[in-house]
Structure 1
Amino acid sequence: QSDSQNIACSFAHPCKEMRRPVLGLVLVGASCAAAVYAWYRRSRKHHRAATRRVLLCSEAQAKIHATARALDADVVPVAAESLVREQPLGLDETLAGAMNRLRTASAVGDMEGVELTVAIENGLIQLHQAGEERWLDLAVVVIRDLISGAEAVATSAGLQIPTHVVADWSEAGAEGTVGAFVASNTGCDKQDPHNYLTSGAFPRDLLLENALRLAHASLKPRAALRSSELLFATPDNSGD
């Protein structure tokens, strides 16, 4: 036979030595694919099992999105009154607004299957340093675990609001929120001036998501401390 015939024959009838490596690669590839598929099914099953039902004391979209992501939750939004000023000032009033939302929503919301209740309130915090006035907008978030009874409070990162903006808002009658005032002058979303004031780097839902993660992470330790709170109680020496 000619050389060309021998080459053609070798392609038409490959020897066993050539077929074995190819077959081995096919089997290894199939095994890897099966393992990846099995892992995917297990992870999806775990993800579905991890989803919880959370009552959110608000119908604001930024709060809904933040809660769903932070708590891997099926969110049940309920309109709830804060019973404080539309623009809370100071940490005390901001916390009071969140706690009021928690109480009112728990009284009217569908609590079936709910594991956690969440309330969020944004407020303006005034700072003074060396005679200079500064303002921060931050959110107070409250999470209550309905199973353990534990409750955790955290705040979002504070975003500085230009002092002249707060001054202009105050001189205009301090009506509505500072966020709405910023929106009226810039055209941004009045529920999310954070996005505008950070050039898109930190929208409000991202700030809220991180605060919710922080509060939720502290629930279990707080529940453990609550069960052993007598260990930390101040001794009663009234009988001495």
Structure 2
Amino acid sequence: MRVGVGSGNPVKATATERALAGRDATVEAVPVESGVSEQPRGRAETVEGAENRARRALAAGEFDLGVGIEGGVATLSGVGGRFLIMWAAVTDGDRTGRGGGPSLRLPDDIAARVDAGEELGPVMDDVLDREGVAREGGAAGALTDGAVDREAALSSAVAGALGPFVADLY
């Protein structure tokens, strides 16, 4: 099975490989546009970005499945604070599966900067005084002291989105 991942970020391709472990699958990174803002806000925009990436990746080559992964920030009903959220979508052109990764509360000072219009990735680079946090452990790794890194968090979202394509229950 050939799988196109709608991103040039190697962490997203590796997360997809991890979700497909044990299956006969070849994963290829396919840089595509998300069609949403650079910093998606809210669950709906984050899911829309993942779906757009999945469809565009599928259309970009001879793939059996297209995978889209999108990170965003959101407030969650009934829960205080601003959260980092992760969503994935998988499509074969006819069906689309969706899955969410962990939701991680942002520290108030980081949330304030995101609310003021900054993107989370560069904010995390600044706060951690490092470049390319999003291509390493990501905000997820920093927020959990390494207990859950970005690859693991995104892999769980992809695994959930793969459900309709790998489980007989659907």
Normalised-by-shorter TM-score class: 0.7 to 0.9
Q: Identify if the C-alpha distance between structure 1 residues 64 and 170 changes in structure 2 by more than 3 Å, giving closer, same or farther.
A: same
Name the counterpart of 1:126.
75
Name the counterpart of 1:110.
61
Task: Give the CA RMSD over aligned residues.
Answer: 2.2
Larger radius of gyration: 1
Name the counterpart of 2:50.
98
Q: What residue identity is the alignment partner of 2:123? A: F
Alignment of 1:20-169 (within 5 A): 52-72=1-21, 73-107=25-59, 109-111=60-62, 114-127=63-76, 129=78, 133-145=80-92, 149-169=94-114
Taking structure 2 as the reference length, the TM-score comes to 0.84
CA distance in 2, matches of 1:94, 1:179: 15
Q: Identify if the C-alpha distance between structure 1 residues 217 and 127 changes in structure 2 by more than 3 Å, giving closer, same or farther.
A: closer
Name the counterpart of 2:152.
206
CA distance in 1, matches of 2:52, 2:160: 21
1:213 is paired with a residue whose SS is helix
Within the alignment, does 1:184 sit opposite 2:126 as a pair? yes
Number of aligned residues: 163
8 Å CA contact 2:42–2:74 kept in 1: the answer is yes
Deviates more, 1:187-196 or 1:159-168: 187-196
**Shift of residue 127 of structure 1?**
2.8
8 Å CA contact 1:126–1:133 kept in 2: the answer is yes
**Shift of residue 219 of structure 1?**
3.0
8 Å CA contact 2:46–2:70 kept in 1: the answer is yes
CA distance in 2, matches of 1:178, 1:75: 27
Name the counterpart of 1:29.
none
CA distance in 2, matches of 1:128, 1:69: 31
Q: Identify if the C-alpha distance between structure 1 residues 102 and 218 changes in structure 2 by more than 3 Å, giving closer, same or farther.
A: closer
8 Å CA contact 1:133–1:163 kept in 2: the answer is no
Structure 2 residue runs without a partner (length 5+) = none
Q: What residue identity is the alignment partner of 2:146? A: G
**Shift of residue 180 of structure 1?**
1.7
8 Å CA contact 1:145–1:151 kept in 2: the answer is yes
Structure 1 residue runs without a partner (length 5+) = 1-51, 226-240
Higher relative contact order (CA 8 A, sep 6+): 2
Q: What residue identity is the alignment partner of 1:110? A: G
Q: Which has the higher helix share?
A: 1
1:218 is paired with a residue whose SS is helix
